[in-house]
Amino acid sequence: MIYLLEDDNSIRDLVLYTLNGQGMEAQGFALPSAFWQAMEAETPTLVLLDIMLPEEDGLTILKKLRAGAKTARLPVILLTAKSTEYDKVLGLDGGADDYVAKPFGMMELLSRIRALLRRTGTQEDAELRDGTLRIIPAQHLVQVDGQEVALTQKEFELLCLLLRAPGTVFSREQLIEQVWGYAFIGETRTVDVHVRTLRQKLGAAGDCIETVRGYGYKLRAAE
């Protein structure tokens, strides 16, 4: 479980949508009081923490987490509009494990989360499979029938996203947000081009990516 404490509704909704879409269970809070109440019920595996909050600021919350016996080593990533070197040093010296300045892309945030979870001993997605298709995300390795297939970074991220949620239908706009980042500006046809190239590179294994006419794409659900 990942907890997100962020009072900006649009940012909170987008981050939660992305995390849950990637198979990461996540819960968001607008107020520190609600966050602390949830902490009493369940300790998460990681916390995404805004600095500028109502009731009490993020650095104060971080200090309390580090002082607690159960949360002293809890992984924490600060999310904040304060991006000067001084602010970053202040946050890291205060006990944060990482620092992401706003605005940020969703794929960058996901990468930071996965890297931190790896460093703290939580491994995710050691291997993804669908028929003859095999992916080892940590090694950026893609194989079909045991033969390695070279993909671009975006093709790789797109394929991993689909494989992590078989049967889930993603619109082109959702894929743009989650693979290219919400700040990406461009035609949604970019997705179609990447899917077409991906299918060509994967050969027969590429048939697992199904088109949902007039909407987007999905990975076929396991029978």
Show the domain range for 173: 128-219
Alpha carbon dihedral 80, 84, 86, 87, in 10-degree steps, equals -10
Same domain? 158 vs 111: no
**Residue 46 and residue 74 in contact, taking contact as beta carbons nearer than 8 Å:** yes
Same domain? 157 vs 195: yes
Structure tokens at 159: 């394929």
Please give the pLDDT value at position 87.
67
Same domain? 106 vs 159: no
Same domain? 172 vs 101: no
pLDDT (tens, 9 = 90+) of the chain, 223 residues, equals: 899 999 999 999 999 998 888 878 899 999 999 999 999 988 898 999 998 899 999 999 999 998 888 888 888 999 887 666 666 677 777 788 888 888 888 888 888 888 787 766 544 556 888 989 999 876 778 999 999 999 887 888 899 889 888 888 888 888 887 777 554 555 678 899 999 999 999 999 999 999 999 899 999 865 5
What's the total number of domains in the chain?
A: 2
Same domain? 66 vs 136: no
Same domain? 55 vs 163: no
What are the residue ranges of helices labelled H in 32-180?
32-41, 58-67, 85-93, 106-119, 153-163, 172-175
Please give the pLDDT value at position 140.
77
- Taking each helix axis from N to C end, the angle separating 106-119 and 9-21, rounded to the nearest 10 degrees, works out to 60
What b/e string do you get for 147-161 counting C-beta neighbours within 10 Å, with b at 16 or more? Answer: eebebeebbbbbbbb
Please give the pLDDT value at position 176.
81
Four-residue CA torsion sign, 123, 111, 113, 96:
positive
Q: Which of 119, 143, 168 marks a domain boundary? A: 119
Same domain? 185 vs 143: yes
Please give the pLDDT value at position 123.
47
Please state the pTM of the whole predicted model. 0.55
Q: Say which CATH number the domain at 69 has.
A: 3.40.50.2300
Q: In what order do the strands lie in the sheet with 128-130?
A: 128-130, 133-136, 141-144, 147-148
Please give the pLDDT value at position 54.
92
Alpha carbon dihedral 211, 212, 213, 214, in 10-degree steps, equals -120
* Residue of 147, 200, 191, 201 whose CA lies nearest to 171: 191
Q: Which of 119, 151, 186 marks a domain boundary? A: 119
Measure the CA–CA gap between 133 and 151, rounded to whole angstroms. Answer: 13
Same domain? 115 vs 133: no
Same domain? 141 vs 203: yes
Please give the pLDDT value at position 82.
67
Same domain? 72 vs 102: yes
Q: Say which CATH number the domain at 135 has.
A: 1.10.10.10
Q: Which of 91, 119, 147 marks a domain boundary? A: 119
Same domain? 108 vs 133: no
Same domain? 95 vs 170: no
